[in-house]
Structure 1
Amino acid sequence: MQRLNPDPQFVRELQGVGGDALTKCYQCATCSVACPISPSSQPYPRKEMIWAQWGLKDKLMSDVDVWLCHNCGTCSDLCPRGARPGDLLAAIRNMTYRSLVGPSVFAKWMSSPKYLPMLAVIPAILFLVIWGIMAGVNGTLFPLTEDGHVVYGLIFPGDYTIDPIFILVTIYVLVAFYTGVTRLLKRFKPEGEVIYVGGKKPSVIRCLWDTIVGEIVTHKKFADCGEDKAPRKIGHLAIFYAFIALAIVTSIVAWGHWLPVFLGWGGIEIHGIHTPMPQAFPVKVLANFGAILGLVGLTVLTANRVAKDPKKTESNYYDWYLLGVIWAIFLTGIACELLRLANFKYLAYPTYFVHLVAVFMLIGYLPWSKLGHLVYRTAALTYARYLGRKVM
């Protein structure tokens, strides 16, 4: 007989991060029946609603099904009591983000809007110090080139400030994700029947490949959640591919700058890529395309979230923090380009400063933000596929 260890404090914490309506659930199972992607054996989210009401923290934190849910909201739309089971699963994921990696203070700061200034002040101070040092070198806070143009490298040189900072931050985030994914997979315990196609256990690499190509890249499960969820899928895909485009641009620019430097140390001289780039340059065209695509996705997702019925589903701070930071990145990024082209130095440099702060807040706090689910969900979906956990 399995011994249960209810945790009343966990229930209160769960209610505080989006699962506040769970006490309304009276176990009618409408949510599990309505979910179009829930496994036929031990379906969710009914069992998660039971465990949450009982305060079974260990059960919920080791439940892979929490990550299989794509939060389409169908279960919450059809719930006769307004218990919002979809919000509950999102709340469990939010709590999981906070517990996987340290330092714990970042997890705490990500949990409430009152800590937002703390998250912003770290990169703000860092970049203000750099700006101040470079102002001393240039003799002004708002320098121009000899031919009178705004160049952001005059106040934030990529060679020895921006590039090293974000390289170190990225390495830290990758280590944090490795630690978090490892801990997450160790927690998981299979629920329901395990069936392997053809009776043979697949390889982890094959499962990871099928998950990325079959689900992540196409967002197929978003379509499976119902035709009326199409705007949500379009919004997610637009932002997803916008970030891919901008990541490609960043990688090309970095390699185009640093590769000639490294080769130059070996006596090999080649021409590199330098910023700012001409508007017709292919890399610049891709960057502008990514920016426009990102704005489209943000507009769709924001409109979709604002239009939600609060009685059926409720947006929480994790949702709005992520949307707000991404909005700040894209708006300031586009504004930086326009202000640079217009040579409005008194607006261009402060805008670029805000842009750097927003980018740091997205990347630096990624393991504790909702965007971290892109990594954790991929790991969970791969694990479920490896186990043979089947959907309807």
Structure 2
Amino acid sequence: MSNTVKVQPDLKFVKELQAVGGDSLKKCYQCATCSVVCPLSPADGPYPRKEMVWAQWGLKDRLVNDIDIWLCHNCGTCSDLCPRGAKPGDLLSALRNMAYRNLAPLPIIGKLMSSSAGLLPLAAIPAIIYGIIWVIMAGKVGSFLPTFEWNALDHSWVPVADGDIIFGGLFPGDYTIDPIFMVVFAFMIWGFYAGVRNMVKAFDAQPKTFIVGRKEEPCFCSCLIDTFKHEILNHSQFNDCNDDHSDELDQKRAGGHRMLMFGFVALMIVTGVVATGHWGGWLLRTLGITGLGDIVSAIGHTPMPLYHPIKLLAFVGAGLGIYGLVALTKRRVNLDQAKQSSSWYDWYLIVLIWTIFLTGVGAFLFRVMGVALLAYPVYYVHLITVFMMLAYLPWSKLGHLVYRTVALSYAKKIGRIPMGDDK
């Protein structure tokens, strides 16, 4: 006698799923073309056909615990070849969008991140914080658009009439920029910690796969290293998504993601050197090692001359980032909306990163040209957008940097997908 399985559809879940990008899932009539053509889908329990079934039936519990939604790299092949225009690729994107909303704590942030209506209150938080700092510092230095000169004795910027535009003079790093971003960074880490914990706990219900010839289950750490080596540094799965029928924009997609990633890495190194030089020099001077402290401070002292190696690295990072953004934006703009759609999450992320890079470059150019009327407001917007990117990262599409990395590593650990070296 067969066992009876009780199906409890969640119609509210279906409506929410349609609202975040899965609006065409009802068109699916289960031909399985999507699973057949997917270059990444495993032969055992392939996706996205089963996800289409579960979504149509409103099986929320199965979908929210499904590791396969993170294995898809959204190349769009399944949606391009779907004979009914059901857009299975969009469904998997929509499921990830729902995961961003609910994995991390404070679901109110996820709800605000899910539509343009929530953008204003999210942006208002850093705008108010840095607006108050601007007003207070303007009262202290005597101008909303001040210029400064460096006081080597006090290691501080002094406002003068005919000085230089110095962002650190109006927004001092010691007690405005650095403390705020340290709190933001800690908040982001907490959000990711809770989100990853919830995700791994849900994955524990995943069946393990027996792989012939596999001696023992690898540890999670080795799987994580393998994921960094292949999927992150080499973008192997992005490359695997391409085939002989991929157009030029799809073929450049992996390169665009990789250049943007390297751009961020370069800028992170620049930020790290500046912070280490500033606080390292302060610590050494506090300990009485004045000479070495001054040398360390000089390494990270800003603004740096244009020929400084760290400044040159910043230029390289900005160039790589903009190149990657151009490639990704061009592909997104040229998508055939009848086959593959772009959601609010997609455009929010692209516009936010564009704003970060353009305001960063713009603030630098206006500072060098001495246009304080533009330099300070552009830098103010830059602070707001960087704050938004970091603080809300666990609830945004960019959160896949962490969630997908963990999911890919976990999938390798349980044998759902092979290790990169075994392909």
TM-score computed with the length of structure 1 as normaliser? 0.98
Shift of 1:30: 0.2
> What residue number does 1:237 align with?
258
335, 347, 351: which one pairs with 2:362? 335
Runs (4 or more) in structure 1 with deviation over 4 Å come to none
Residue 105 (structure 2) pairs with residue 125 (structure 1): no
RMSD: 1.3
Residue 227 (structure 2) pairs with residue 224 (structure 1): no
The whole-number CA distance in structure 2 between the counterparts of 1:196 and 1:72 is 30
Shift of 1:4: 2.6
> What residue number does 2:174 align with?
159
Answer whether contact 1:196 1:388 (CA < 8 A) is retained: no
| Alpha-carbon distance change, 65 to 196 in structure 1, aligned in 2, over 3 angstroms | farther
Shift of 1:263: 2.0
Residue 88 (structure 2) pairs with residue 85 (structure 1): yes
Shifted more, 253-262 versus 20-29: the winner is 253-262
Could you report, residue by residue, the CA deviation over 1:286-340 in whole angstroms, capped at 9, with x for unpaired residues?
A: 0011111111111111110010000000000000000010000000000011000
77, 96, 99: which one pairs with 1:74? 77
18, 31, 50: which one pairs with 2:21? 18
Where 1:82 maps in the other structure, the secondary structure is coil
Shift of 1:100: 1.2
The whole-number CA distance in structure 2 between the counterparts of 1:196 and 1:333 is 52
Answer whether contact 2:259 2:324 (CA < 8 A) is retained: yes
The whole-number CA distance in structure 2 between the counterparts of 1:215 and 1:233 is 11
Could you report, residue by residue, the CA deviation over 1:336-392 in whole angstroms, capped at 9, with x for unpaired residues?
A: 110000110011000100110111111111000000011000000010000011369
Where 1:198 maps in the other structure, the secondary structure is coil
351, 355, 362: which one pairs with 2:378? 351
Write the mapping of 1:179-328 to structure 2, written as runs, cut at 5 A.
179-188=194-203, 189-191=205-207, 193-195=209-211, 197-227=213-243, 228=246, 229-269=250-290, 270=293, 271=295, 272=297, 273-328=300-355
Answer whether contact 2:208 2:414 (CA < 8 A) is retained: no
Answer whether contact 1:196 1:387 (CA < 8 A) is retained: no
**Identity across the alignment (%):** 53
The whole-number CA distance in structure 2 between the counterparts of 1:196 and 1:148 is 71
Shifted more, 210-219 versus 276-285: the winner is 210-219
Shift of 1:194: 3.6
Answer whether contact 1:336 1:351 (CA < 8 A) is retained: yes
Shift of 1:196: 6.7
> What residue number does 1:37 align with?
40
Mind listing any 5+ residue stretches in structure 2 that lack a counterpart?
149-159
Answer whether contact 1:195 1:389 (CA < 8 A) is retained: no
Residue 120 (structure 2) pairs with residue 99 (structure 1): no
Answer whether contact 2:105 2:195 (CA < 8 A) is retained: no
| Alpha-carbon distance change, 261 to 196 in structure 1, aligned in 2, over 3 angstroms | farther
Shifted more, 181-190 versus 45-54: the winner is 181-190
The whole-number CA distance in structure 1 between the counterparts of 2:284 and 2:320 is 35
Shift of 1:103: 1.5
TM-score computed with the length of structure 2 as normaliser? 0.91
119, 124, 141: which one pairs with 1:116? 119
Residue 410 (structure 2) pairs with residue 370 (structure 1): no
| Alpha-carbon distance change, 359 to 212 in structure 1, aligned in 2, over 3 angstroms | same
Answer whether contact 2:104 2:194 (CA < 8 A) is retained: yes
The whole-number CA distance in structure 2 between the counterparts of 1:72 and 1:142 is 47
User: What code does the residue aligned with 1:252 have?
Assistant: V
Higher relative contact order (CA 8 A, sep 6+): 1
The whole-number CA distance in structure 2 between the counterparts of 1:194 and 1:347 is 61
Where 1:72 maps in the other structure, the secondary structure is coil
The whole-number CA distance in structure 2 between the counterparts of 1:4 and 1:248 is 51
The whole-number CA distance in structure 2 between the counterparts of 1:14 and 1:26 is 18
Could you report, residue by residue, the CA deviation over 1:130-183 in whole angstroms, capped at 9, with x for unpaired residues?
A: 000000100110100135210001210001100000011001101110110010
User: What code does the residue aligned with 2:139 have?
Assistant: G
User: What code does the residue aligned with 2:233 have?
Assistant: V
Could you report, residue by residue, the CA deviation over 1:45-66 in whole angstroms, capped at 9, with x for unpaired residues?
A: 0000000000000000111011
The whole-number CA distance in structure 1 between the counterparts of 2:260 and 2:389 is 14
The whole-number CA distance in structure 2 between the counterparts of 1:322 and 1:4 is 36
The whole-number CA distance in structure 2 between the counterparts of 1:294 and 1:301 is 11
Could you report, residue by residue, the CA deviation over 1:204-234 in whole angstroms, capped at 9, with x for unpaired residues?
A: 1101100111111111101100142221111
Answer whether contact 1:41 1:192 (CA < 8 A) is retained: no
User: What code does the residue aligned with 1:230 have?
Assistant: Q
User: What code does the residue aligned with 2:271 have?
Assistant: T
Residue 207 (structure 2) pairs with residue 175 (structure 1): no
Shift of 1:191: 4.7
Shift of 1:195: 2.3
Answer whether contact 1:239 1:293 (CA < 8 A) is retained: yes
Answer whether contact 1:246 1:290 (CA < 8 A) is retained: yes
408, 413, 419: which one pairs with 1:381? 408
6, 9, 23: which one pairs with 1:3? 6
The whole-number CA distance in structure 2 between the counterparts of 1:282 and 1:94 is 40
The whole-number CA distance in structure 1 between the counterparts of 2:289 and 2:313 is 29
